[in-house]
Amino acid sequence: MLYLVATPIGNLSDISLRALETLREVDYVASEDTRKTGRLLKHFQIHKPQISFHEHNEQQAGAKIVRLLEQGHSVALVSNAGTPGIADPGYTLVRQAIERDLPYTMIPGPSALVMALVLSGLPSHSFSFRGFSPRKQGKRRRFLELDRDSSHTLVFYESPYRLKAFLSDAIAVYGDRPAAIANELTKMYESMQHGRLSELLAGFENEEPRGEYVVVIAGS
Ligand code: SAM
């Protein structure tokens, strides 16, 4: 059985009872970053063989996981943080399980995109999750332009190193729309900033972005 197990996005108390039960019971834990996952497992005194599964080895590691599943072993897939299969290669494993008729399920839990969207106060009945945008400006602008006329609320993941450039490009492409920035959700310095994109960008004039960010932008 393949289990997609959501894990905390910061605060370890957000782990669910089912996630702990599952991680204790499975034969293997597959994860993007075995060191990070090792720390999580150690915190909960769980000792399991780990399999590294990330975008650079997803073919080989995916084949290995499928072999184990076909032999009757159970495998839990966890992401670096939050919900596996969101902005990581988890979906390729789900697809293989579907194609091979292998049993699979999910232990749901935290996800940065859902928490940021809900706390943004922007309409959440219809939204587009756009994940990470391209690193280079030209590609990033073209990527943002795809949603210029969309009426859905837009949700982006962004690294602290590119957040200011991302906000400038968002202003250039979308105009000065209402938006929100979520930072370090569930952690000690959790914060939400709300305002027009230009106000949010101005907030970084004297302070460099730090930690993990989700940007939520109103639709057109
Ligand atoms: N699978 C994860 C999920 O369910 O949210 C997301 C993995 S994605 C590779 C990592 C990105 O999620 C970070 O770069 C950041 O944009 C966002 N993120 C993760 N944890 C966060 C947190 N505690 N606060 C704000 N954003 C977070």
User: Buried b vs exposed e over 177-202: b needs ≥16 C-beta within 10 Å?
Assistant: bbbbbbbebbeeeeebeeeebbebbe
**Positive or negative torsion for Cα 15, 7, 76, 4:** positive
Distance from the CA of 178 to the center of ligand 1, in angstroms?
A: 22
Model's pTM, two decimal places?
0.95
Cα 192 from chain centroid (whole Å) = 17
pLDDT in tens, 67-77: 999 999 999 99
Mutate to test the pocket of ligand 1, among 14, 212, 213 (most ligand atoms within 8 A of CB): 212
Q: Any idea what the CATH number is for the domain that residue 146 is in?
A: 3.30.950.10
What's the CA dihedral at 10, 125, 216, 170 to 10 degrees? 150
Residue where one domain finishes, among candidates 92, 107, 122: 107
Residue 103 sits in the same domain as residue 154: no
The H or E element spanning position 160 is none
Q: Is 72 left (phi over 0), alpha (psi -120 to 50) or beta?
A: left
What average pLDDT does the structure give for the chain? 97
Residue where one domain finishes, among candidates 56, 90, 107: 107
Which pLDDT value is given to residue 218? 98
Percent of the chain having pLDDT more than 70?
100
What's the CA dihedral at 137, 191, 83, 8 to 10 degrees? 140
Residue nearest to atom 13 of ligand 1 (CA): 212
pLDDT in tens, 171-219: 999 999 999 999 999 999 999 999 999 999 999 999 999 999 999 999 9
Q: Where are the beta strands (DSSP E) in 13-101?
A: 28-31, 50-52, 75-78
Query: For residue 151, what are the contacts with CB-CB under 8 A and spacing of at least 6?
Result: 126, 219, 220
> Number of folded domains in the chain?
2
Reply yes or no on whether the pLDDT at 86 is more than 90: yes
Residue where one domain finishes, among candidates 74, 107, 140: 107
Q: Any idea what the CATH number is for the domain that residue 47 is in?
A: 3.40.1010.10
Percent of the chain having pLDDT more than 90?
97
Distance from the CA of 72 to the center of ligand 1, in angstroms?
A: 32
* Domain housing 62: 2-107
Please tell me if the CB atom of residue 157 comes closer than 6 angstroms to any atom of ligand 1.
yes
pLDDT in tens, 1-48: 999 999 999 999 999 999 999 999 999 999 999 999 999 999 999 999
> In this structure, which amino acid lies at residue 87?
A
